[in-house]
Amino acid sequence: MNIIPNATFAALGTTVFTVMSALANEHNAVNLGQGFPDTDGPEDVRAVAARALMEASNQYPPMRGLPALRQAVARHEARFYGLEVDPDRGVLVTSGATEALTASIMAFVNPGDEVILIEPAYDSYLPIVRQAGATPRFLRLEPPRWRLEEDRLAALITPKTKLLILNTPHNPVGRVFSEEELEMVSRLTCHHGFLVVSDEVYEHIVFDGKRHRPLITFPGMGERTLKIASAGKTFSLTGWKVGMVTAAPALIDQVAKVHQFLTFTTPPNLQAAVAYGLGKEDAYFDGLIADMQAKRDRLSAGLAPLGFNVLPSEGTYFLTCDYAKLSSEDDVTFAKRLVVEVGVATIPLSPFVEGGWPHRLIRFCFAKQDAVLEEGLARLRRYFGT
Ligand code: PMP
Ligand code: GLN
């Protein structure tokens, strides 16, 4: 019997999020690691899902997504970004952004192609790029500014470049790339003629009065960008796994061909509820930002006096901290010690880069109830406080 597994996946461990959450449970730690809110999203959205489960069809919805959701996505893109999207041909509903990313990469990458990844890179990108037979090219951002530099990006582009994977707002570093940086990316992309998979799952979590601007809205990018969204992030319902791709019809057609054999469809009641949710009043979206921003500020204010160098978080629900003043351990060792000895779980950043990483950085998730953030801080204060 030959049970030799697929080489790409056999080489992988378990994701750092699962590892740290398991360790947190084992040690009864306050879990500020894996990114998920500890309260569920809007009750009215959940009520629509519950009602649809009982009253609407529970059979396969259309392969590209419920028409009501595709229409809601098109209205959402027009309302927030002034984008004109064809709900029938320019939108695809997937089972989470994770599936959207995988389907988008698989749809366009051939063996021998090159794909540019921006490091630190969310951990689901690289294995799929490798499995597609492409060669990854890494553009590593440097703390604390994490800027996208034109000369460094330009140096990675070759005639074989097929795809760039961008993530803004950026997990784990919390950057929202500026108009200038995105304009530069657009210019190089159009000049060299490749595609961008733009992971914008935190599009509604951007702080300090700034607004998210999707890459697809930049000149020339409408025909070469796959914009990826996640209801899990927008509605604090991460278990739902409803993702959405917005792109030119010719691109969506190809991604749909992969989607039909990855998952084919996504639970119809959840799609109906997300369709409802995307139409919620501005107060909901503004409230999400205000809520998360207050939590960011609460956690930063508590961490800084303990010796953590808190890097700016412009978006997402993550804060990155340099702990070099507190320890010379590598980030995985330090993060494990925090769980075991302090009772606080975080995420080390080294799993998001290939090879070595000289920095001492860990990520805290602040999408937690205030009392939970305070308990985490109290534990850290008892351990590191003077
Ligand atoms: N991309 C990024 C940057 C994320 O943080 C997440 C959250 N897990 C995902 C994609 C996947 O989203 P989903 O849970 O909708 O699959
Ligand atoms: N995106 C979440 C995070 O960054 C985790 C998702 C997962 O556990 N797969 O923490």
Residue with tokens 């994701």: 15
Residue 223 Cα to ligand 2 middle (Å): 29
Q: Which ligand has the shortest distance to the CA of 170?
A: 1
Indicate whether 112 and 245 sit together in one domain: yes
Cβ of 17 below 6 Å from ligand 2: yes
Q: Are 339 and 28 within 8 A, CB to CB? A: no
- Quick check: is 95 in a domain? yes
Q: Which ligand has the shortest distance to the CA of 198?
A: 1
- Quick check: is 324 in a domain? yes
Give, for ligand 2, the residue of 34, 237, 320 to mutate: max count of ligand atoms closer than 8 Å to Cβ: 34
Residue 382 Cα to ligand 1 middle (Å): 33
Residue 121 Cα to ligand 2 middle (Å): 12
Indicate whether 260 and 177 sit together in one domain: yes
Domain count, the chain: 2
pLDDT value of position 356: 81
Indicate whether 32 and 173 sit together in one domain: no
Q: Are 129 and 275 within 8 A, CB to CB? A: no
Nearest to 36 by CA among 20, 14, 51, 12: 20
- Quick check: is 2 in a domain? no
Indicate whether 380 and 247 sit together in one domain: no
- Helices 268-278 and 67-81: crossing angle in degrees, nearest 10, is 30
- Quick check: is 211 in a domain? yes
Q: Tell me, what DSSP letter sits at residue 368?
A: S
Residue 145 Cα to ligand 1 middle (Å): 23
Domain stop point among 255, 280, 305: 280
Nearest to 52 by CA among 66, 63, 70, 73: 66
Domain stop point among 280, 302, 337: 280
- Quick check: is 136 in a domain? yes
* Residue whose CA lies nearest to ligand 2 atom number 7: 17
CB atoms within 10 A of CB 114: 20
Indicate whether 213 and 163 sit together in one domain: yes
- Quick check: is 206 in a domain? yes
Residue 35 Cα to ligand 2 middle (Å): 5
Q: Tell me, what DSSP letter sits at residue 59?
A: S
Q: Are 138 and 354 within 8 A, CB to CB? A: yes
Indicate whether 317 and 268 sit together in one domain: no
Indicate whether 195 and 70 sit together in one domain: yes
**Backbone torsions φ then ψ of 291, nearest 5 degrees:** -60, -50
Q: What CATH number is attached to the domain comprising 228?
A: 3.40.640.10
Cβ of 232 below 6 Å from ligand 1: yes
Indicate whether 189 and 87 sit together in one domain: yes
Residue 140 Cα to ligand 1 middle (Å): 20
Question: What letters, b where the CB count within 10 A reaches 16 and e where it falls short, cover 122-139?
Answer: bebbbbbbbbbebebbeb
Cβ of 230 below 6 Å from ligand 1: yes
Indicate whether 210 and 122 sit together in one domain: yes
Q: What CATH number is attached to the domain comprising 360?
A: 3.90.1150.10
**Three-class SS state of 188:** helix
- Quick check: is 67 in a domain? yes
Indicate whether 167 and 309 sit together in one domain: no
Cβ of 320 below 6 Å from ligand 2: no
Who's near 345: CB < 8 A, 6+ residues apart?
20, 21, 23, 24, 29, 30, 31, 32, 33, 34, 335, 338, 339
Cβ of 94 below 6 Å from ligand 1: no
- Quick check: is 1 in a domain? no
Amino acid (1-letter code) at residue 127? P
Q: Is 323 exposed, middle or buried (0-12, 13-18, 19+ CB in 10 A)?
A: buried
- Ligand 1 atom closest to the CA of 100, numbered from 1: 16
pLDDT value of position 147: 98
Q: Is 386 exposed, middle or buried (0-12, 13-18, 19+ CB in 10 A)?
A: exposed
Indicate whether 173 and 238 sit together in one domain: yes
Who's near 372: CB < 8 A, 6+ residues apart?
30, 38
* Residue whose CA lies nearest to ligand 2 atom number 8: 17
Average pLDDT along the chain, 386 residues, taken 10 residues at a time:
95 95 97 97 98 98 98 98 98 98 98 98 98 98 97 98 98 98 98 98 98 98 98 98 98 98 98 98 98 98 98 98 97 97 98 93 98 98 89
Residue 104 Cα to ligand 2 middle (Å): 19
Cβ of 35 below 6 Å from ligand 2: yes
Indicate whether 200 and 321 sit together in one domain: no
Domain stop point among 259, 280, 301: 280
Residue 223 Cα to ligand 1 middle (Å): 24
pLDDT value of position 155: 98
Q: Domain residues for 356?
A: 7-41+283-384
